Amino acid sequence: MRVGVLTGGGDCPGLNAVIRAVVRKGIKDYGYEFVGFRDGWRGPLEGDTMELDRAAVRGILPRGGTILGSSRTNLMKIEGGVERVKDNMAGLGIDALVAIGGEDTLGVATQLTEQGVNVVGVPKTIDNDLNATDYTFGFDTAVNIATEAIDRLHTTAESHHRALVVEVMGRHAGWIALHSGMAAGANAILIPERPFDIDEVVGWVESRFQTEYAPIIVVAEGAHPKDGQMELSTGEKDSFGHVRLGGIGQRLAEEIEKRTGKESRSVVLGHVQRGGTPSAFDRVLATRLGVQAIDAVRDRDWGKMVALQGTDVVRVELSAATEKLKTVPPERYAEAEVFFG
Reduce the secondary structure of 267-300 to three states and give it as a string. Answer: EECHHHHCCCCCCHHHHHHHHHHHHHHHHHHHCC
298 is in an annotated binding site: no
Task: Please check whether residue 235 is in contact with residue 244, taking contact to mean a CB–CB distance below 8 angstroms.
Answer: yes
Catalytic residues, by residue number, are: 127
Sheet harboring 163-168: ordered strands across?
188-190, 216-220, 163-168, 264-268
170 is in an annotated binding site: yes
272 is in an annotated binding site: yes
242 is in an annotated binding site: no
288 is in an annotated binding site: no
216 is in an annotated binding site: no
Task: Please check whether residue 300 is in contact with residue 323, taking contact to mean a CB–CB distance below 8 angstroms.
Answer: no
Rounded CA separation 176/219 (Å): 9
Task: Give the chain's count of helices (H) and strands (E).
Answer: 12, 11
What one-character DSSP code corresponds to residue 227?
T
221 is in an annotated binding site: yes
168 is in an annotated binding site: no
Half-sphere exposure of residue 97: CA atoms within 13 angstroms, side-chain side: 31
228 is in an annotated binding site: no
327 is in an annotated binding site: no
What one-character DSSP code corresponds to residue 237?
B
265 is in an annotated binding site: yes
Q: CA angle, 65 as apex, 63 and 70 as ends, to 5°?
A: 150
51 is in an annotated binding site: no
| Known binding-site positions | 10, 103, 125-127, 162, 169-171, 221, 265, 271-274
| Known binding-site positions for Mg(2+) | 103
| Known binding-site positions for substrate | 125-127, 162, 169-171, 221, 265, 271-274
| Known binding-site positions for diphosphate | 10
